[in-house]
Amino acid sequence: MSFSSDEYNELLNLVFDIVQAKAGEPLTESNEWQNHAQVLSGKFFKHMLSARHLYEGDRFFSSSGFDLEYVDYSSVSAIVRAALENYLALH
């Protein structure tokens, strides 16, 4: 699955809905843990967006005419690992 696929965009929308599900509700002593869960889930969502952005790649043009199109897979891997760690901490 590519990061630009409809399935990935649908997943992003579902995660966004989950992150926002409790937004605006008051916190009480019995549900104050939800504040931490919302922060972690927001970080997870942002990591997913960053991974998609990095996976789309970039292009470098030098003044001497060199043209390089690239995807920084090591950065994508680091962001995906951070997202997974965030998910595990949340779960």
- Over the chain, what HEC string results? CCCCCHHHHHHHHHHHHHHHCCCCCCCCCCCCHHHHHHHHHHHHHHHHHHHHHHHCCEEEECCCCCEEEECCHHHHHHHHHHHHHHHHHHC
* Predicted TM-score (pTM) of this structure: 0.73
Q: What is the pLDDT of residue 29?
A: 81
Give the pLDDT mean for 52-63.
Answer: 91
Q: What is the pLDDT of residue 1?
A: 47
Give the pLDDT mean for 2-27.
Answer: 82
